[in-house]
Chains A and B, each alone.
Chain A
């Protein structure tokens, strides 16, 4: 398996522009998580999905952020409009669905992240 695939690896955009980050989870992993990592705040969970349904979006900082999972193999995180304070590394992670599969396989697999810089 190729692992969790995120694109782009790096994104530089101007303040006010729309930014879309993409994630392809591991096949068979029906739980998907979006994290943001900054020096000041560390690793923050933004939102997670089970079976394509958003379960907890309490970590989404504000309405400028939105996430979708139209199918089991793709998710997007969109920021519109972007602001300099959104600059961070955004990680996607996937896991086996809760209550399914052997528990020993439980645990997140992370992508390599997207480094976003908003200028």
Chain B
């Protein structure tokens, strides 16, 4: 069965510190991988996606993610967090033509 696990429900980091949000997936084939961000009262916005090729992908707002096939992981990173990054982050997996499966989300809090 296809599934996405985001092990951390909440993460708190200090402004200016680095960030890594974890995502592990279970899928029959190498899936397409996505990270979305949801600010309070807003819809989900696409941060970045991976289809193939270079396993390190760059996204908007200074985020990047690395696909590691051996670990079935697609962790999201940012070198220096800003207070405006406080939001909920969702990892999603799927294949072209199939519906995406979303993780439960990780809530990021940024302390000043």
List the interface of chain A (C-beta within 8 A of B): 4, 33, 42-43, 45, 48, 56, 91, 93, 98-99, 103-104, 106-113
Contact = CB atoms under 8 A, between A and B. Distances in A.
Interface stretch (B15-23, B42-50, B77-85): B42-50
Contacts of B92: 108
A112 B99 contact: no
A113 to B, nearest CB: 5
Contacts of A110: 36, 43-45
Nearest to A44: B102
Contacts, number: 46
Closest 8 pairs (CB-CB, A-B): A98-B97, A110-B43, A110-B44, A112-B43, A42-B104, A103-B96, A43-B102, A99-B97
Contact of B42 (A43, A45, A112): A112
Contact of B90 (A43, A48, A112): A43
Contacts of A103: 32, 51, 96
A42 B32 contact: no
Given A48-B99, A91-B43, A107-B32, 16 more contacts: A33-B99, A42-B102, A42-B104, A43-B105, A56-B99, A91-B44, A93-B44, A98-B96, A103-B32, A103-B96, A106-B51, A106-B96, A107-B49, A108-B46, A108-B92, A111-B43
A99 B96 contact: yes
Contacts of B97: 98-99
Contacts of B70: none
A107 B100 CA distance: 8
B98 interface: yes
Nearest to A103: B96
A98 B98 contact: yes
